[in-house]
Amino acid sequence: MSMERRFERIGAHTHIKGLGVRNGKAEFKADGMVGQIKAREAAYVVVQMIKKGKMAGRAILLAGPPGTGKTAIALAISRELGKEVPFITLSGSEIYSTDLKKTEVLMRAIRRAIGVKIKDLREVIEGEVKKLNIEMAPHPYNPYQQIPSKIKITLATKDEEKTFTAGTEIALSFLQQGIREGDIIMIDKETGKVVKLGRSKDAPKEYDIEEETYIDKPSGSLIKEREFVYVLTLHDLDLRRARGGGSLMSLFFGGEREEITNEIRKEVDDMVKEWIEEGRAEIIPGVLFIDEVHMLDVEAFAFLNRALESEMAPIIVFASNRGITKIRGTDIEAPHGIPLDLLDRLLIIITEPYKEEEIREIIRIRLREEKVELSEEAFNKLVEIAMKNSLRYAIMLLGPIKEIATMKGIDKPGIEEVEEAANLFSDYKTSAETVKKLEHLFLP
């Protein structure tokens, strides 16, 4: 019997659930966060300010050496703000890597970081499929191929039963979803979109084991109004508007035009404001995390400085591991490579190198996340490597350690596998020493 292996991608920060702060005090280990007590407590204060609307015109800067949890804190801030809050990451160097203008890349990132929670009242047909008949006809371009031309369905609730007819598109939806008698479905009357909700508890089971969700048959009228709640970003709405979408639902369908102009963005902003006034939507400001902030140039900084003043602005979190460095595009030196007029508007949170106790806990968390079990000797060796080189390097070795153990047929990697991985893959300090030693052999 063949076994299907499930592929899981484990991200570096999948374990982060929040800042781990209780009553204003950060716990040593909580919500996936370890150490950085002062930085986490400062971030918690910022979260409270955001919730009270007191961050307008300001942003946050996380400054500290590499591998001190800056990205983790930025993500934790968004987690504290709510599950629906968008979290968008952008590296400073990314603004130069596309055909788009630098300011357009930044604008799109800002718009992706602003959510719009939309409430939409739709007229739907909802019921159990009692009878189903699909008529087939020759394909207009290939007479040897049959396509559905018409569908006749009888739907029922506990209180009503009615027969409906529809055309090719709805018939195709039924075939594609494998909808059969006994299934409970919902059809949007305006768009014709068909959704299978599950299988009726009253329907007979064909097999002992089925991949079906059994639900109660709806009651009341077949045709009813239902409220749908979904979250899109301003950028999603910009794209759909650019493609020709107009009304709330037609934003999901449209033409080919995808250039996003300032006029389109203004139309979307006006439309969203109208929905908010009507009680059909609400704005969910998200978090835009810009790493490598020193890679931005004066034009990008000027754009962001102005963007912070917008009434529709996300929470912008910068991160920097640089000290005094030149502002890109100038000969002016400034802290973190950020112009002083913008730096003066930032709440700066310092992250510090992790202590041994903190490194031990972080490695334990990553071992659990990546499903790696080390012997005690191997674990201590990995901690030693992290202290000598860097925490990030030690965590990067987890994958090779697991792979080396698998190749050897070992379930629990030991100190030998840790040392072998460290020998195969160099840390940045050793790499730098090698470059210096063999400098005459490297190309300039």
pLDDT score recorded for residue 251: 46
Whether residue 2 is predicted with pLDDT greater than 50 in this model: the reply is: no
Among 316, 355, 380, 385, smallest CA distance to 68 is for 355
Whether 326 and 416 map to the same domain: the answer is no
Residue 178 resides in a domain: yes
Same domain, 263 and 346: no
The pLDDT of residue 12 is 53
Q: Are residues 260 and 306 in the same domain?
A: no
CATH number of 367's domain:
1.10.8.60
Instruction: Name the token pair of 355.
Output: 């202590």
Residues 251 and 135 in one domain: yes
Count of domains observed in the chain: 3
In a domain, 343, yes or no: yes
For residue 20, the SS3 value is coil
Predicted confidence (pLDDT) per residue in 412-429, tens digit? 888 888 888 888 887 777
Measured CA to CA in angstroms, residue 290 lies from 106, 341, 435 at distances of 10, 18, 31
DSSP 3-state of 229: strand
| pLDDT tens per residue across span 383-398 | 888 888 888 888 888 8
Is position 4 within any domain? no
pLDDT at 10: 39
Domain boundary among the residues 251, 278, 305 is at 278
Q: Do the domain assignments include residue 124?
A: yes
pLDDT of residue 256: 39
**Does 51 score more than 70 pLDDT?**
yes
CA dihedral in degrees (234, 240, 241, 242; nearest 10)? 110
The string of pLDDT tens digits covering residues 107-149 is 888 888 888 888 877 788 888 998 888 888 887 777 777 788 8
For residue 298, tell me if it sits in a domain: yes
Provide the pLDDT for residue 145: 77
Residues 334 and 387 in one domain: no
Give residue-wise pLDDT tens across range 56-97. Answer: 778 889 988 887 888 888 888 888 888 778 888 888 888 787
Q: Are residues 25 and 57 in the same domain?
A: yes
Chain-centroid distance of CA 195 in Å reads 25
Judge whether 240 and 265 are in contact, CB under 8 Å.
no
pLDDT on residue 255: 39
The answer to whether residues 294 and 403 belong to one domain is no
Host domain of residue 292: 21-113+286-350
For residue 441, tell me if it sits in a domain.
Answer: no
Overall average pLDDT of the 24-35 stretch: 82
Same domain, 173 and 322: no
Q: Which two tokens stand for residue 287?
A: 């978090």
Q: Are residues 244 and 341 in the same domain?
A: no
Residues 163 and 32 in one domain: no
pLDDT at 115: 86
Q: Which of 89-98, 147-156, 201-210 has the lowest mean pLDDT?
A: 201-210
Average confidence (pLDDT) over 258-279: 82
* Apex 313 CA angle, 308 and 314, nearest 5: 110
Q: What does the angle CA 126 – CA 127 – CA 130 come to, to the nearest 5 degrees?
A: 145
Query: What value does the mean pLDDT of the chain take?
Result: 80
Checking 379-388 for CB contacts under 8 A at 24+ apart, the result is 381/415, 381/418, 381/419, 382/418, 383/356, 383/359, 385/418, 385/422, 385/427, 386/359, 387/356, 387/359
- Quick one: which H or E segment has residue 89? strand 87-91
- Give the pLDDT confidence of 154-184 residue by residue, as tens digits: 998 988 898 988 888 888 888 888 888 889 9
> Beta strand pairing status for 315-320 and 114-138?
unpaired
For helices 234-242 and 262-277, angle between their N-to-C axes, nearest 10 degrees = 120
Examine the fold and report which residue of 300, 316, 350 is the final residue of a domain before the chain moves on. Answer: 350
Any idea what the CATH number is for the domain that residue 322 is in?
A: 3.40.50.300
Please check whether residues 90 and 137 belong to one and the same domain. Answer: no
If you ran DSSP here, which 8-state letter would residue 345 be given?
T
Average pLDDT for 293-311: 83
Q: Is 6 part of a structural domain of the chain?
A: no
Which pLDDT belongs to residue 267?
A: 84
The predicted pLDDT at position 15 comes to 67
15 domain residue, yes or no? no
Strand partners, 238: none
Residue in 195, 238, 194 with CA at minimum distance from that of residue 213: 195
**Nearest one of 125, 118, 111 to 247, comparing CA atoms:** 118
Shared-domain flag, residues 151 and 300? no
Domain boundary among 227, 256, 278: 278
